[in-house]
Every structure is written in structure tokens, then in C-alpha cells.
Amino acid sequence: QMEEQQQQLTIQSKDLKEKNEKLARAKQDIDIRAEELEKASTYKSEFLANMSHELRTPLNSIILLSKLLTQNQNKTLDDKDMEKSNVIHKAGNDLLLLINDILDLSKIESGNMELEHIGVSSSEITEELRGLFGALADEKKLDFIIDDKFDSVFSTDKAKLLQVLKNLLSN
């Protein structure tokens, strides 16, 4: 009986060793994958930061030149040309905001996002939203109604709040 128990213990011991070895290999695989994921995340963040910078440089030129066109200092542009230059200027600014949003994602992932709390009037937010989405709503024959019952000043990161509201309204 003792010999039989000894054999069973030996078999159980071998099974335990095999299972421990499998667990050790699985842990090594998980560690390797975690390292690879960390590297990929780092590379992605660096890529986004570099690309954002590379995109911003020509975009800032477009924004500046379109702003100069919208001023029409030489009075060489007619109303249609002025409208077109305004559209280019606004589209450039929107694209710049989008690039900044991409950078913000990288900052959030790396834990470097900082909020800028300032006093903001609710009417300031509603007017900006009206300006951005009023014409779009008219074009789509929708009523765009903002009822500011708060009508007060509050502390927030205005850019982040507007980003959330724009995304919400765009969707």
C-alpha cells in the first residue's frame, strides 16, 4: 500500500512539475507580449507626436495665408472669393483642432494631459456652438435650439468641454 501511495505521489509530483513548467512558459509568453505591447504603444505615441508636428507646419501656413485672404486688404476678392477663403480658413482651423485632439490622445495615454480650469460663461459656450452648428442645422433643415437655463459662469477646461460637445453634436 505504501509503495502504491509512493507511486501515486511520484505521478502527482511529475504532473505538478509539468504544470508548473507550462505555467512558467505561459508567464514568459505573457511577459514577452506585454513588453511588445509597451514598445508598440511607445512607437505609436512617438509617431503621432512626430506626424502631428509635421502636419502642423504646412497647416499653419495655410491658416495664415487664408486669414490674410479673408482680410482682403487689396480689395481684389469678390464676395464669393471671400466666402471661399473663409471656408479654407475655417477648415484649416478645424483640421488643426483635429491634429491637437490626436496629440491629446497621446498625452492621455502617457499620463501627461493637463486640464486648464478657467471661468467660462455658459452663454459663451452656447454662442460658440450656435456659430459652429447653426448653419449646418439650417442646411439640413433642422431646428437647432439651445436653451441656456444655467446662464452663469463656471470653472472648466473650455477647450476640452467644447471638444466633447462638438463630438456629441457631430454624432
- With cell 502617457, the residue in question is 110
Report the SS3 class of residue 118: strand
Are 25 and 17 contacting, i.e. CB atoms less than 8 angstroms apart?
no
Could you list the mean pLDDT of each consecutive 10-residue stretch along the chain, which spans 171 residues? 92 96 97 94 80 82 90 90 89 86 71 82 92 82 92 91 84 73
- With cell 484649416, the residue in question is 92
**Grid coordinates given for 160:** 476640452
Q: Which helix (H) or strand (E) holds 43?
A: helix 2-71
> Tell me: the pLDDT tens digits for 77-123?
998 899 888 889 988 988 888 888 777 776 766 666 777 889 999 99
* First CA to last CA distance, the chain: 75
User: Number of C-alpha atoms within 13 angstroms, CB side, residue 6?
Assistant: 3
Residue 155 has a pLDDT of 95
Residue 106 has a pLDDT of 67
Residue 26 has a pLDDT of 97
